[in-house]
Structure 1
Amino acid sequence: MDRRSDECLLGESSRQDPYNDPESPFIPTFRAQSMSSAKGRIQPLKTLCKILAAVSLFSFAVVLLKPLVYLDIEEAPTYSAAFHSQSYVQGPPTQRFRDNLRNDTKYITSWISAGWTNDVMTYGNLIYLALITERIPIIAKFTPSHVDNSAPPFAFGDVIDIPRLSQAIGSPVIEWHEVKDSKSDVLDDIGCWTVWESVQKLDPNPRGSPSLNWLRLDVSWTRTPDWVKLTPPGIEDNHASFWSLATLGFPETRSTSLELTNHPSPQHQVSLPPDDQLLCFDYLYYVGAQNAWEWESDYSPAWRFVGQHMHWNASLERLADEHARRAMSVPVNEPTPPYISIHMRHGDFRNYCNDLPLDQCFASLPAIARRVAEVQEDLRTKKGIEVTQVIMTSDERDPEWWSGVRALGWTWVDYASERTEEIYGKWYPVFIDAVIQSNGAGFVGTRGSTMTTLARRRVESWHDGPTRIVQWGSPNADDH
C-alpha cells in the first residue's frame, strides 16, 4: 500500500524519523510627527490638544519601549462573527454527529493518513473542494503520523488561525470536535465515497485513517467512478480531479453513480449510499485541477484560494518567534531581525541515494551556502535589506555536519536544551520548525520535500521573499 512520508514527492520512502517539514517578521518603524499649534484657537481647545498630545506621547513611549515582536499578533484583529462555527451546527457537540448538523446546511469532510505536512495539504484540498461544492468543511484533528504515536491528536484550530482563514475565503470552517463529542462512545454509521480505489491499482481497499477510530465512525464505502482520475488510464498516477469529485456532491451525478461497488461497514456490516448531507471522501491528498502535484505550481487553485490563507494560530506563532529569537541571541528589548530560513531534509531521503555515498548524494554545505548568498543578494538588491541571520532546520543527525553549519555562522533551534517536547509536547518541534521556515525574509529548501514546498509558498506569498531550492541525488547536483 502506498504511504508517502511527510515532505516526500519522489515516491516510496520509509518512515525513518520524518522530522522537520507567520506573519511578517518585518517590524514597522514608528516615527513621531511634529505638531504646530494653530493660531487663533480658543484656550479650551488648546488645553484639549495638550492633553491629547500628552496621551499620544505616552502611548508612543509605551510602544517604543516594548519589543516590536509580532505586534500584529499581540494586538490581534477581531474577525467578523458571520463565520462563527457555532452558527453552522445545532449547538454544543453531541454524542452522535448527525444530531448536531443543521437540516438547512450541507457539509463535506475527509480524513488524513500521511505525514503532517501532507496532511496540511490534504485539508487545504478538502477546503477548496468545499468552496466549489458550496459546502461547509468539517476538519478532523491532526494525527501523530510522524511524531511519537503516544502523542495525542492535535486540533487543526490550534495550529491554523481558523477565524482568519474563514474570513479570507468567505466561508466557515468547522472542526469535528465541535460537531461530535470527542468522548462519545457512539459508533456512527455513514456512507462515503472511496477515491483511493479508483485512482490506483495496488490497493483494492478504501484508504484507511486513524481519524475514523478517534471519531468513532463506521463507514460504508462506495467506489467513485473511474472518470474521477485526473490523468488518462494508461498513466500511473494517484491523482483525482477536483471538479470530477465535486460533481458527486450534486444530485444528478450522485444519483447516476450509486450503483458502483459498495463495501459494507466493517463493524455494523451495513451498506449505505454515500451521504448527501455530509459528503465524505476517504482521501484527498492526491487531487488536482489540471496536473498532479499542483501545490508545486504557481497557479495551484488549492494554494491560491485556500492554502495561502492558512496562517498560523497566534499563540503558536509567538512560541516559534520566542524560539527563533533565542536561537539568534536577540536581546529582550530588540525586535526580531529578518532572517533566512533553510530546510535541509536528509532523514529518509537517504533511501533514494541507493549505493551513492551520502556526501555525494546530498548537497554540500558550500552548495547550500551559495543558495543562501543568492537569497541575500536578492534581498539586498530588491528590498534594500541586509540579512545576516540564517536559521537551519533539518533532520540531520551527524554532529560533524552541524559543526559545519555553525562554522558558516548559521544557527538553529536546540529543542533538547529548550526542553520543547517536555514543556509543550511532542508535536511542537515540527510545528515550530514550520513556522520558522515560513517566517524567513527568504528561504532555501530541499527538492522533493513537501515541507519545503509549503515553506517556499508561504515565504513568497506572505513576505514577498526570494526562495531557492537545492538539488541533490547525484554528485554536484546543485552546481550552477
Structure 2
Amino acid sequence: MQRNNLSEENLLPTSRDGGRFLADIFPKRRSLFAVFASFATISLLGFLSFTFWTEQPRTQTIITEDIPQPSNVTHSTLSDANLIGAPTAQFRDNLRPDRKYLTSWISAGWTNDVMTYMNLVYLAIITDRIPIIPMFTPSHIGTSVPPIDFGLVFDVPRFRKALGKPVLEWHEVKDRASGLVEEIGCWNTWEAVQERDHHPRHSYVPAHLKLDISYTKAPSWIKLIPKFEHDMHTTFWALAALAFPETRTASLVTPLESPEHHVSLPPDEHVVCYDYLYFVGANQPFEFEFDYSPAWRYVGQHMHFTPIIEHLAEEYVRRAIGVVEGEPTPPWIAIHVRRGDFKVFCGENTDGCYAPLPVIARRVEEVKAEILERKGMVVTHVIMTSDERNSTWWGEVVGLGWYGVDHSQTTELLGPWYPVLIDAAIQGGGVGFVGTDRSTMSLIARRRVQSWKDGAVRTVKWGKPDSDDH
C-alpha cells in the first residue's frame, strides 16, 4: 500500500466509540464527579479554563462554577520583551520595529495541526524570527465548537524555556475583542506544490484573527520533488529563503486581491506569513517518521502538555485501572488503534485489513520485554485508546486484560476538546507505546514516548492479513 496523505480530521475520541459501553464494563471505584470534585482542592486547577477565539471573547467554565477561573492569559516576561505591550486592536501597533516575526495557519486534523505549528516554530528559528502561533480550530470535533488557545494545550512558558527563544501567541499580540479587519500580504505555498487547487490553502484561522490576506504565489522551485504530482512537500530552507530580502524580491509576482478589502499586497516583511506549513521537511517527505527530523528534535519534543492536561491524563489512567486513593500511579503502556476513517483504504474487507487484536497484543508483549530488558521494569497495565465503536471489539480488549479510557462524561464536564487532548497525553505519558501505522496521532505519540520517557515503541502495520508479520 502506497504512502497516503492521511489526516486526523475524522479521528473520533473514545467518547464517541464506546464511551457508554466502557462506562458499563469498567468498574467505577470512584465516580467521575468525585474525581473532579477532588480536583478543586488542587491549586493547579485554579487555572482550568477554556479561552476561545470567537466573534466576542468568552471563557467557558469547566466542571463547576466554584473553581476559581482566571481572566485572559497574561503576558510573560518574554512576551513583553518582544511586543510593545498589552494586546492591541491592530496587531501592527503591538509589534516592535526592531524585531521580525513569522506566522502561518492550520488546515487539517488536530495532530496534523500540532505538527504544522512545530514546523512553524522551526522555520522561525532558522530565519531568526519570532513565531506567532494561532489557536487550534476544531476540524476533528465539528466546526460549531469554538477554537482553543495553543497555550491551553501546550505549556508555553516551559516551551520558551526549553527553546531558549521567544514564542508568542496571537492573542498576546492582537486583542481578542478587536473587530478591526487588517490587511496583510502572505506567501501562497499551496499552489506551488500541487496542481489540483488553484488557490491558497484554505484555513479558518485568518477569519478568527480578522485578517484580510493578499496572497502571492510562491515560486515552483520550493517544491521538494519537482513536477511530482503525488507529493506536496516543500523544504524549510526553500521557505526560509523567501523570508530574506534578496530572494523575496526576486520571487515577487502580482499578488492576488484580498477577499474583503480587495487590496493587492506583496508578502509582508515585518511578519512573514505562509498559507500552510504541514507539508514541509528538511530532506524528504513525511519527515516526522524519521529520528533525525529537525522539527521534532529542535521543537516538537519540547512541546509538553500543560500541567492541567498532564494531571487530567494521570487521573483518567488511575480511574481506568482502579488505583486506590493515596497509592502512586503505576507506569503504563498505551495503545492507539485508529480504525474508523481508515476504512476508506480497506473497502468492505475490514477484517482482513485492520490489524487484529492478537497482532497488536504481540507488539505489546515485545514492548513489555524491551522495557524489562532495558530498564528492569515490569509493566502490567495497558491502556487502549481508539476510535473503534464496536462494543464486541471493546469486550475483546477487556478480555486481554487491557483498560479503556472512559470518556462518557468528559465532554459534558470539560468540553469537547478534552477527550482527544487527554488521550494524546495518556499516549505520550506511557513508558511504552504501540501505535497504528500511517496515523499521525500514533506517530507523534511514539515520538513523545521516545523523547520524554526513553520508552519502548512499536508500530502495527495493516492493510492485509500478513501486513504485520515478522
TM-score (norm 1): 0.83
Runs of 4+ in 1 over 3 A off after TM superposition: 11-20
Return the alpha-carbon distance in structure 2 between the equivalents of residues 261 and 207 of structure 1: 18
SS in 1 for 2:343: helix
Cα distance, 1:83 vs. partner? 5.8
What is the aligned counterpart of 1:138 among 129, 132, 137?
132
Distance change >3 Å, CA 13–CA 87, structure 1 → 2: closer
Return the alpha-carbon distance in structure 2 between the equivalents of residues 167 and 308 of structure 1: 13
Partner residue of 1:393? 385
Deviations 1:317-342 (A, max 9, x none): 11111111101111111111001000
Return the alpha-carbon distance in structure 2 between the equivalents of residues 12 and 409 of structure 1: 31
Return the alpha-carbon distance in structure 2 between the equivalents of residues 18 and 400 of structure 1: 18
Say if 2:7 and 2:112, in contact at 8 Å, map to a contact too.
no
Deviations 1:46-88 (A, max 9, x none): xxxxxxxxxxxxxxxxxxxxxxxxx9x99xxxxxx99621221
Return the alpha-carbon distance in structure 2 between the equivalents of residues 219 and 371 of structure 1: 48
Distance change >3 Å, CA 126–CA 17, structure 1 → 2: closer
Cα distance, 1:166 vs. partner? 1.1
What is the aligned counterpart of 1:462 among 452, 455, 460?
452
Deviations 1:411-462 (A, max 9, x none): 011110xx11111100000000000000111000000000011000000111
TM-score (norm 2): 0.85
Cα distance, 1:15 vs. partner? 5.0
Say if 1:189 and 1:218, in contact at 8 Å, map to a contact too.
yes
Partner residue of 1:407? 399
Amino acid at match of 1:394: S
For the pair 1:335 / 2:343, whether they are aligned, the reply is no
Partner residue of 1:438? 428
What is the aligned counterpart of 2:199 among 186, 202, 205?
205
Task: State, as a whole percentage, how many aligned pairs show the same letter.
Answer: 55
Alignment of 1:46-61 (within 5 A): none
Alignment of 1:194-273 (within 5 A): 194-234=188-228, 236-258=230-252, 260-273=253-266
Alignment of 1:266-305 (within 5 A): 266-305=259-298
SS in 2 for 1:460: helix
Say if 2:7 and 2:440, in contact at 8 Å, map to a contact too.
no
Return the alpha-carbon distance in structure 2 between the equivalents of residues 277 and 413 of structure 1: 46
For the pair 1:310 / 2:300, whether they are aligned, the reply is no
Distance change >3 Å, CA 214–CA 138, structure 1 → 2: same
What is the aligned counterpart of 2:367 among 375, 387, 390?
375
Say if 1:83 and 1:171, in contact at 8 Å, map to a contact too.
no
Cα distance, 1:398 vs. partner? 0.3
Deviations 1:288-332 (A, max 9, x none): 000000000000000000000001111111111111110111111
Return the alpha-carbon distance in structure 2 between the equivalents of residues 12 and 157 of structure 1: 26
Say if 1:376 and 1:386, in contact at 8 Å, map to a contact too.
yes
SS in 2 for 1:360: coil
Say if 2:320 and 2:405, in contact at 8 Å, map to a contact too.
yes
Return the alpha-carbon distance in structure 1 between the equivalents of residues 249 and 457 of structure 2: 47
Say if 1:83 and 1:167, in contact at 8 Å, map to a contact too.
no
Amino acid at match of 2:411: E
Amino acid at match of 1:321: E
Say if 1:459 and 1:466, in contact at 8 Å, map to a contact too.
yes
Amino acid at match of 2:273: C
Partner residue of 1:126? 120
For the pair 1:475 / 2:468, whether they are aligned, the reply is no
Return the alpha-carbon distance in structure 2 between the equivalents of residues 241 and 233 of structure 1: 15
Deviations 1:357-382 (A, max 9, x none): 21111111111110000000001111
Partner residue of 1:351? 344
Return the alpha-carbon distance in structure 2 between the equivalents of residues 326 and 393 of structure 1: 14
SS in 1 for 2:369: helix
Distance change >3 Å, CA 120–CA 364, structure 1 → 2: same
Return the alpha-carbon distance in structure 2 between the equivalents of residues 91 and 140 of structure 1: 18
Say if 1:151 and 1:425, in contact at 8 Å, map to a contact too.
no
Say if 1:83 and 1:166, in contact at 8 Å, map to a contact too.
no
Return the alpha-carbon distance in structure 2 between the equivalents of residues 174 and 13 of structure 1: 26
SS in 1 for 2:325: coil
SS in 2 for 1:392: strand
Return the alpha-carbon distance in structure 1 between the equivalents of residues 330 and 8 of structure 2: 37
Gaps of 5+ in 2: 15-41, 46-74
Partner residue of 2:5? 11
Partner residue of 2:143? 149
Amino acid at match of 1:217: L
Amino acid at match of 2:448: R
Return the alpha-carbon distance in structure 1 between the equivalents of residues 464 and 198 of structure 2: 36
Worse-matched range after superposition: 122-131 or 467-476: 467-476
Distance change >3 Å, CA 115–CA 322, structure 1 → 2: same
Say if 1:148 and 1:426, in contact at 8 Å, map to a contact too.
no
Distance change >3 Å, CA 13–CA 191, structure 1 → 2: closer
Say if 2:461 and 2:467, in contact at 8 Å, map to a contact too.
yes
Cα distance, 1:279 vs. partner? 0.4
Distance change >3 Å, CA 434–CA 17, structure 1 → 2: closer
Worse-matched range after superposition: 84-93 or 376-385: 84-93
Return the alpha-carbon distance in structure 2 between the equivalents of residues 120 and 242 of structure 1: 17
Return the alpha-carbon distance in structure 1 between the equivalents of residues 226 and 126 of structure 2: 23
Say if 2:216 and 2:254, in contact at 8 Å, map to a contact too.
yes
Gaps of 5+ in 1: 1-7, 21-70, 75-80
Say if 2:8 and 2:441, in contact at 8 Å, map to a contact too.
no
Cα distance, 1:16 vs. partner? 4.2
